[in-house]
Amino acid sequence: MPLESESNSPAAALASAVLTPESNPVCGRPEVEDSSAEPGADELGHETFPAPVPLSPDAGETPAEPSPAEPPGPAEPALSELAPEPAPVLRPSIPTPPVQDVHDLDWDAIHVEADPAAMRARMQKIVAGMEALLDRAGGQNLAFDADRAGPDDRAIHITTAMTAEPVWFVGDLHGDILALEAALALIRREAGEGLPRIVFLGDLFDDEGFGLEVLLRIFALIVDAPEQICVLAGNHDEALSYDGARFAATVSPSDFSDALNANLADEWIARAGKLTVRFFANAPRALFFPDGLLAAHGGFPLADLHARLAETGNWNDPACLQDFVWTRAHPTARRKLPNRFSRGSQFGYQDFAAFCDLATRLGRPVTHFVRGHDHVEERWAVYPKYEPNPMLTTVALSRRLPRESYGPPARVPTVARMIERCLPQVYRLHIPADLILVTYPEAHGASGPEVLP
């Protein structure tokens, strides 16, 4: 498969279409003009335009004029004569809880915990523990594994009763060990005792930073309490491979695979890389929660897959799994034409509403969505156009990534807490900027950290 590069979508320029604490600190939604004709971008950076709403099976094509020597064909049926689409499913509105700003964590202690050297010192124990867990006869027993329809089920329909224990969502990290430790500190403080269930929304490495250390930290959480941790595959995670000699990736940037190849002589680094490939091969791509919440890294099966999905009910169709991982959200477009020449198609708010209706008819009610994938400048976004099927994008990135061409070097990462029948509640982690810039000097132009020793 050819190498695919990621670039920041021009949708980032549509920041005015995003609900933020500044636009409304509670739950209000500013009115935004429908700009569905604006271009988006695929993952190669090429502009894409939303598909027109089809009025007939041949919409978008100009029919040929009948030959004068031949009688004209039968008249096109009137719009009223076409088979009606299924009526949309009526659902109650999904509230958006107020955003919580977190300033009072022990930032110095978090900075100490985010020590890459200390994490590498534990590498042998962590890697050996994860290898043993993956080899266990009874399975890994990670969070929500009990709801898998089978060992190969990667679109998990959660049917067991949810307990009062909270569920937290941590979006893209891309080697951000500091944001990860801050997220864990908040989650532990809010939980009071023990570690609640945490869903990582994918993309743990690449984009410089400390990809190996982030993996090791999450693997350590899994070894200690596998039933509390779920890791969804992101596109960077899924793109990593090993052919028996070298690592490769079908996405760019792919500096993590480059770093692994540069350290093949180190037994434990090589084993950590192989373990990562093995782990993500069977990691979930989507979670369907009982209250109608969908969780995935990127998106959902796009419109061109709906007929096949309705016929087969096969949520593990490779094309469906790919869309859960790779597709991107357009802030204001109604519909976007799926682009099967690239894995990075976009979707619009009517595309998501149509999927919610389909999933509900197939016995997996979906009303709202939490995801990562799009590196929005504020590190979270709720697009008003997606009401009444709201969608939260949340990423845990405390720094400006090398491929982000604008904005301050220090950012405010976010995590989210599940609230039943609501959009997950956003928590903004106000890590002091000096700690971010000390941890990631490359974010403001200095020489960057070593990804691997």
How large is the average pLDDT for residues 375-380? 97
Residue 348: per-residue pLDDT: 98
Per-residue pLDDT tens digits for 410-421: 999 999 999 999
Phi and psi at residue 4, in whole multiples of 5°? -115, 130
Residue 164: the pLDDT is 78
pLDDT at 218 over 60: yes
Between 9 and 248, name the one with better pLDDT: 248
**Averaged over 297-324, what is the pLDDT?**
98
Name 91's Cβ contacts closer than 8 Å, sequence gap at least 6: 292, 356, 367, 388, 389
- pLDDT tens digit sequence for 38-93: 444 444 333 333 333 333 233 333 333 333 444 444 443 343 333 345 555 555 68
**262 falls in which pLDDT band (50, 70, 90)?**
very high
Half-sphere exposure of residue 345: CA atoms within 13 angstroms, side-chain side: 25
Q: How far apart are CA 384 and CA 393, in angstroms?
A: 12
pLDDT tens by residue, 178-195:
999 999 999 999 998 888
Output the DSSP codes for 50-111. Answer: PPPPPSSTTTTSPPPPPPTTS---PPPPPGGGSPPPPPPPP------PPPEEE--S-HHHHH
- Residue 132 and residue 210: Cα distance in Å, rounded? 24
Query: Phi, psi (5° rounding) for residue 296?
Result: -160, 170
| pLDDT for the residue numbered 381 | 98
The C-alpha atoms of residue 130 and residue 178 are separated, in whole angstroms, by 23
Count the residues in the chain: 453
Q: Is the pLDDT of residue 373 over 90?
A: yes
pLDDT at 161: 83
DSSP 3-state percent helix, strand, coil across the chain (nearest 5): 30, 15, 55
What residue ranges define each of the domains in the chain, with the CATH number in brackets? 95-444 (3.60.21.10)
pLDDT tens string 112-170: 999 999 999 999 999 999 999 999 988 899 999 999 999 999 999 999 888 778 999 99
Residue 363 has pLDDT above 80, yes or no: yes
pLDDT digits (tens, 9 = 90+) for 278-309: 999 999 999 999 999 999 999 999 999 999 99
pLDDT mean across residues, the chain: 84
Percent of the chain's residues with pLDDT above 70: 77
**What's the whole-model pTM score?**
0.82
pLDDT of residue 139: 85
Please give the structure tokens belonging to residue 122: 């534990």
